[in-house]
Structure 1
């Protein structure tokens, strides 16, 4: 089973400068970036991206806005809670269990979150279903909406740049995935790991966010410089991961692992409860999920299949794949379609090919 590789027990999350894909750089410079992404995708599934071009003031405004929202009383935030089947709005602490998306029974996760995403109304000529492209719910927190919309656009730009790099890295051309992502089901999840009471008693094996793989193509993650994120290696050991100053973490999701027939890794990860000296400390993050068009078909690419590497996955649409995963993490139903993903938690087990 594919998993993150270590060297002498150390997990290396490489730093990759994507500037050549934001400027009119020569092909050699772009090839070097694509090769670095390909190496990271095959060995760890995570990378630290610099040269992304997002202004500091955009991040500063965004973090102020999310801090103001999460700093409100729980009763105020609950006004923006949506039903479990709607991937928008506010999720209170302990209302989700990410490990359910793997079909695993687990303790509810500590985090609270607020989701916004691509809406059917953003693509007026496509007649998209509002069930897949839900309308956003916006709190009346001053400055929240413009700051979040700016970060959504900026992180979306990084994800689209990453898809051009992915196409080049797989020798498919920089525009190969454009037709599968031009109305992508993108979601920005703002996450807070501080419960209303810092001295709350943790349940046994309580985590900030349970073990999971991301569902879509690529995830663009900003996080505080606070310990918490952990990556599972191929031997079943958890390793802390923290982005370098100014870097965004990018990791691959299940859709890209399926497209590459597991040549690239959708890495299992979790967030440990951010506890220092026995007390929960503040930790914030924001994950932008670039998941692909709801009607795009995910199937192993012909270039990733041969007699020695037969196709490991049946074709599935992005919409079908996401609905099955979200029914677990947000709806409480244990997923039954994640055998290959959950096998990574038991590296000694058989490969469910």
Structure 2
């Protein structure tokens, strides 16, 4: 395998059971073998992607003082500076972020109860930004729900086995802004723009710009390039889905190498279920004797990871400390 598989998911949008089963089989094979695949044939217009990218680029071109006017809090809403993420390698990474999540109002019961990861979104005073990013968010979210249907069908479950847990999901999007290489060098960073890591949750729906640089580790420990395919998403499995499938689906290590002296932007949506969703491989028919993982609430698991990876959540950058990681594998 020289790169990750490409799967046309258009069959999941129709009612033909054979077409749906074929797509599910391709998705499942990719998740069993490497945990990554390109998704093409989805229903998100290219113009929606490009408009969101243009607004993201416009936001990160603002002076830092303007970006900080929508500074993030512990609920992952708003702007986060370069210093927020920590990694057990102790490396410095030259990128900053903007976070948004599943829209909830200030009087939502979860917000009023103080449930972590539920908060109204924050948006900068930038014309068109909110509309463009929310259109992109909902497009990605729809793709995520279709992919979850594919997972369920492949695993012999009802199509809504996973998606029925997404009534008020912890589905957060991050705009990643990677700095030009010369700027990175000036702050003590390197061409490693995102350190080797796995994602926290269920499934990630990623759009990347034309810069390239995403790399995925294969079973031999070698990195495969994942070059951009216009109009596609890169889909990958996170640690929670690995747990839910009892280790069958792979949460694969990946990184970003950015050597170009220009900005790079990626826009992943991390599709995670409602906070109190019980993630237990036994729900998929795994016996007690064969279960590798204990049941865990999705939200609790995510909070524990944020507490180890983000300074806003209390993480500290201690090289060699297993708790100072950037989304690293368990």
Distance 2:178 2:184 in 1: 13
Contact persistence 1:19–1:52 (CA under 8 A): yes
Alignment equivalent of 1:194, drawn from 176, 179, 186 = 179
Distance 1:342 1:187, change over 3 A: closer
Match of 2:77 in 1: 88
What SS does structure 1 have at the residue aligned with 2:116?
coil
Match of 1:152 in 2: 137
Q: Shift of the alpha carbon at 1:230?
A: 1.2
Q: Shift of the alpha carbon at 1:95?
A: 2.9
Match of 2:13 in 1: 22
Match of 1:45 in 2: 35
What SS does structure 2 have at the residue aligned with 1:191?
strand
1:220 correspondence with 2:205: yes
Q: Deviations over 1:20-78 (max 9, x none)?
A: 11123x11111100000110000110110011111122122211111110111112112
Match of 1:325 in 2: 305
Q: Shift of the alpha carbon at 1:191?
A: 1.1
Distance 2:190 2:20 in 1: 44
Distance 2:117 2:209 in 1: 30
What SS does structure 1 have at the residue aligned with 2:234?
strand
Distance 1:202 1:235, change over 3 A: farther
Q: How many pairs are equivalent?
A: 320
Contact persistence 1:219–1:287 (CA under 8 A): yes
Match of 1:239 in 2: 224
What SS does structure 1 have at the residue aligned with 2:290?
coil
Distance 1:53 1:32 in 2: 18
Alignment equivalent of 1:285, drawn from 266, 270, 288 = 266
Q: Which moved more, 1:154-163 or 1:107-116?
A: 107-116
Alignment of 1:250-329 (within 5 A): 250-272=235-257, 274-276=258-260, 280-303=261-284, 305-306=286-287, 310-329=290-309
Distance 1:294 1:208 in 2: 30
Distance 1:132 1:94 in 2: 20
Q: Deviations over 1:105-149 (max 9, x none)?
A: 422321111000024439957776453212211100111011011
Distance 1:122 1:176, change over 3 A: farther
Contact persistence 1:217–1:254 (CA under 8 A): yes
Contact persistence 1:95–1:108 (CA under 8 A): no
Q: Shift of the alpha carbon at 1:212?
A: 1.5
Distance 1:335 1:122, change over 3 A: farther
Unmatched 5+ residue regions in structure 1?
A: 1-6, 344-353
Contact persistence 2:308–2:323 (CA under 8 A): no
Distance 1:199 1:160 in 2: 36
Q: Deviations over 1:144-190 (max 9, x none)?
A: 01101110111111001111111101101101123322221011111
Distance 1:13 1:290, change over 3 A: same
Unmatched 5+ residue regions in structure 2?
A: none
Distance 1:323 1:335, change over 3 A: farther
Q: Compute the TM-score of the two structures, normalised by the length of structure 1.
A: 0.83
Q: CA RMSD in A?
A: 2.5
Q: Which moved more, 1:196-205 or 1:238-247?
A: 196-205
Q: Deviations over 1:195-232 (max 9, x none)?
A: 59647436365621122211111110000121211112
